[in-house]
Structure 1
């Protein structure tokens, strides 16, 4: 099977700033791939190069096995949903969805069939005659999706499509986009800065920093084994410890446990670190405990433990605690 798209040695340089730095990337067909990272990491620039709005400074981009590096956007046969949705206010929902088909001179009967099919897919067939201003943010986003899908693109590009929605709608639309992708079998590239969004929606996630790919793989592969400190921090790992040999490792807050007492508990299957409670944050089900401690290298560190509130020991600021660090959940890190 031909991959949906490939980047080979692609860079994008603006003056003395390198936005994307010599990346190799394969976008698999029929899968949802996320480009994930903080602002300025190169994810949106990469998407814009794939869409044809920017030509790479170096390297090649192929789409469905064809070199498309210099192909203009309108000839790449891609669907795109922007952050702003970019709907035409004077057109009805159906006219918006059919616009791309009309520009491609699809016959009226076929156009009507595809518009109806696309609106049915996103659950908006009953609003086909409405104008965008009468729709909620979530409905407008679905119209934009339907418009992009109606042209039957080789690849669907989504640029932070959920960022303008409230928290409840964002969660709902994650599931909707995932459902639509699964039903259509489209290859989708989603740009996001939200790690929860990427973890929930991705078949493949690509983490970027300073224009370079830091790690790539299925969420189930990347999340439990971050490649370096940047990836670990971005995915929500809070605790970093250095061993006596200078090696760095990380562990998630929910994998730490605390005990209170004068004598250190057994360190079976892990290490025990002495510390003092600095802060407590009650979250209902959970209790977040910040502990000041010293790791095996002698460095002063802060550890965050996420405990079940109902079974947590009785703690106050200043309480001396023992932190159990299980070896099975300690992840060694390499690189920056």
Structure 2
């Protein structure tokens, strides 16, 4: 695997606050890597250090094997799309896309060719003469992408690029960014707090908490084998309990069933139910193998309605039980 960028023991402190705490990370060439986690976990700070907008307090950042820790942003050969898109309102779409090329003193013929090629790539060739205010949010986002891609960056950095779009457009743009990355072979680093976005788009998913990397790997690897409670909880594993042998376990709501079955069984009481059309979300209380009262959530489909206060048995599907190495 070729490494496009690397963090080696990188730390970033702001006064007494440690935003990034000694991380080591290899970003693979030609792949889409997501930095995922809640607000304040250090993902955007890490992206800004990679871009050169913020210098690390300690550690080394390499780009294609070269120490680029103190290199200014304009010398790193990177493209960046911000959350706000940062389009120039007085310029046309084509002029916005051409801006970075003019700054780099690319010839006029080459600029025209690259602008046309890039706008076709993002499906906006027919809007080249339009101003940003005439465009939808999704179209503005594509212009920002085109502007970043036109300079042919070594890495493309995306900072929460879909957060300003409505739910339908976000889903569309996930597929669009993934298509563009696949067609161009660009190395992309995307910051997001949305686990669905990361799971759908990533080749490599890096989950962060309090400035540290909790787990990294392919979406399938991380989703199937969360390293600890934080990772599992962030990825939607809502049920946590200690089994009869003292092992700390988790299981997703869709793999917790009402009634006896093949797996870990717990006696429980229904606390509440929520009808959602295709399913019934049932919240229960149970006492686990460690004698602790735990809250459980079952996603019940094609089952009979149950009422709060009902005593029942719940079974965590043995095939989908996950053992957690740590409770943190």
Q: CA deviation at 1:64?
A: 1.2
User: Which structure 2 residues correspond to residues 20-39 of structure 1 after superposition, within 5 A?
Assistant: 20-39=20-39
Counterpart among 268, 284, 294 of residue 277 in structure 2? 284
Counterpart for residue 171 of structure 1: 171
The 5 Å alignment of 1:202-221 reads: 202-221=202-221
User: Contact between 1:258 and 1:313, CA under 8 Å: does it hold in 2?
Assistant: no
Distance change >3 Å, CA 89–CA 314, structure 1 → 2: closer
Counterparts of residues 2-151 of structure 1 (less than 5 Å): 2-151=2-151
Secondary structure (helix, strand or coil) at the match of 2:169 reads helix
Please point out which of 311, 325, 328 is paired with 1:334. Answer: 325
Deviation at 1:331, TM superposition (A): 0.7
Q: Distance in 2 between matches of 1:326 and 1:287?
A: 18
Q: Is the 8 A contact 1:272 1:325 kept in 2?
A: yes
- State the Cα RMSD in Å: 1.0
How many residues are aligned here?
A: 327
**For structure 1, which segment, 324-333 or 100-109, has the greater mean C-alpha deviation from structure 2 after superposition?**
324-333
Q: Deviation string for 1:210-230 (max 9, x for gaps)?
A: 000000000011001100000
Deviations 1:180-230 (A, max 9, x none): 000000000000000000000001100000000000000011001100000
Once the two structures are superposed, residues 290-328 of structure 1 have per-residue CA deviations (whole angstroms, 9 ceiling, x without a partner) of 1111111111111100011xx212311111111012222
Deviations 1:21-49 (A, max 9, x none): 00000010000000000000000000000
**Cross-structure match for 1:299:** 292
Residues of 1 paired with 2:276 and 2:305: CA distance?
15
Greater CA drift, 179-188 or 288-297: 288-297
Distance in 2 separating the partners of 1:6 and 1:77: 15
How far apart are the structure 1 equivalents of 2:267 and 2:304?
Answer: 16
Matched, 1:325 2:316: yes
In structure 1, the gaps of 5 or more residues are 260-264
- Equivalent position SS for 1:156: strand
Give the Å deviation of 1:69. 0.5
TM-score for the superposition, normalised by structure 2 = 0.98
What are structure 2's unaligned runs of at least 5 residues? none
Corresponding residue of 1:192: 192
1:66 shift after superposition: 1.0
Q: Any idea what the Cα deviations from partners look like across 1:154-176, whole Å, max 9, x if unmatched?
A: 00000000000011100000000
Shift in Å, 1:247: 2.9
Q: Is the 8 A contact 2:243 2:264 kept in 1?
A: no
**In structure 1, C-alpha distance between the alignment counterparts of 2:110 and 2:320, rounded to whole Å:** 56
Task: Determine helix, strand or coil for the equivalent of 2:168.
Answer: helix
Work out the CA distance in 2 between the residues paired with 1:245 and 1:207.
30
**Cα distance in structure 1, aligned partners of 2:207 and 2:264:** 31
